[in-house]
Amino acid sequence: MNNYKISGLYGITPDLADTDVLLDKTHQILEGGARLVQLRNKSADKTLRLLQAETLLQLCRKYDVPLLINDNVELALQIDADGVHLGAKDMDITLARRKLGLDKIIGASCYNRIELAVQAAANSADYVAFGAFFPTSTKHDTVDASIDIVRHAKSVLDVPVVCIGGINAHNALSLIANGADAVAVCQAIYQTGNERESAATISRLFG
């Protein structure tokens, strides 16, 4: 399996058409201590998405931080990214594993359903993600997840637990204290005007 540890601050990119701005902001969050980055751009066309994926991968490699591609196994294969993050309506995890091999990271969205997490782990997911825990404007089709599911997941699963949804420097500690291995953050690190310090503030919560 892959040698990356799923822990700490997990940066999720916003929809940015300007690749230079995206790279600059991601560079800052890496300097601030982000330990994973996911390219998630729902508004980009195929050409822009490929450009951003290739350039982000080069940047992340300089920091030895894995770059995951949201929902797109073929793009991950095309650029040799470090893995993918899949939702319930995306490619089946078992099929994705066959395509990607054992050395790539596969993360799975499990929303507020522990049974999805159990199944994902059984199908070789490297981490499971729950959320949204707090109000978020990044996604509009979220479900509400409670902190209880983090404790439950940690008691029955052997894979890392990632929390997502409206997480910022003020509320992340409650999730970490209840067992979250990583917190996935978009707006609270990418849209603050001081991305490096925003990332560092959340990174420090992991001690």
* Mean pLDDT along residues 113-138: 95
Any binding-site annotation on 70?
yes
Note the pLDDT tens digit of each residue in 31-51.
999 999 999 998 999 999 999
Query: Would you please indicate which residues are annotated as catalytic (active-site) residues?
Result: 40, 109, 139
Closest CA to 144 of 106, 175, 112: 112
Q: Where is 30: in which H helix or E strand?
A: helix 19-31
Residue 30 one-letter amino acid: L
Closest CA to 73 of 49, 48, 99: 99
**For residue 63, pLDDT beyond 90:** yes
Any binding-site annotation on 80?
no
Higher per-residue confidence, 140 vs 22: 22
* Mean pLDDT along residues 69-82: 98
Residue 4: the pLDDT is 85
* Mean pLDDT along residues 125-129: 98
**For residue 1, pLDDT beyond 70:** no
Note the pLDDT tens digit of each residue in 8-21.
999 999 999 999 99
Q: 146: which DSSP letter?
A: -
Note the pLDDT tens digit of each residue in 146-160.
999 999 999 999 999
* Mean pLDDT along residues 69-78: 98
Residue 150: the pLDDT is 98
Any binding-site annotation on 204?
no
**For residue 60, pLDDT beyond 80:** yes
Average predicted confidence (pLDDT) for the chain: 96
Closest CA to 12 of 3, 2, 29: 29
Domains of the chain: 8-204 (3.20.20.70)
Q: What percent of the chain has pLDDT over 70?
A: 99
Give the Cα separation of 34 and 80 in Å (integer).
20
Any binding-site annotation on 42?
yes
Higher per-residue confidence, 5 vs 141: 5
Q: Which residue has the tokens 């040698």?
A: 3
Any binding-site annotation on 119?
no
* CB-count burial class (<10 Å; 0-12, 13-18, 19+) for 207: exposed
Residue 144: the pLDDT is 94
Residue 123: the pLDDT is 97
Closest CA to 186 of 149, 136, 113, 135: 136
**For residue 195, pLDDT beyond 90:** yes
Residue 137: the pLDDT is 75
Q: Which residue has the tokens 């990174």?
A: 203
Residue 171: the pLDDT is 97
Closest CA to 171 of 198, 199, 206, 202: 202
Give the Cα separation of 93 and 109 in Å (integer).
11
Any binding-site annotation on 137?
yes
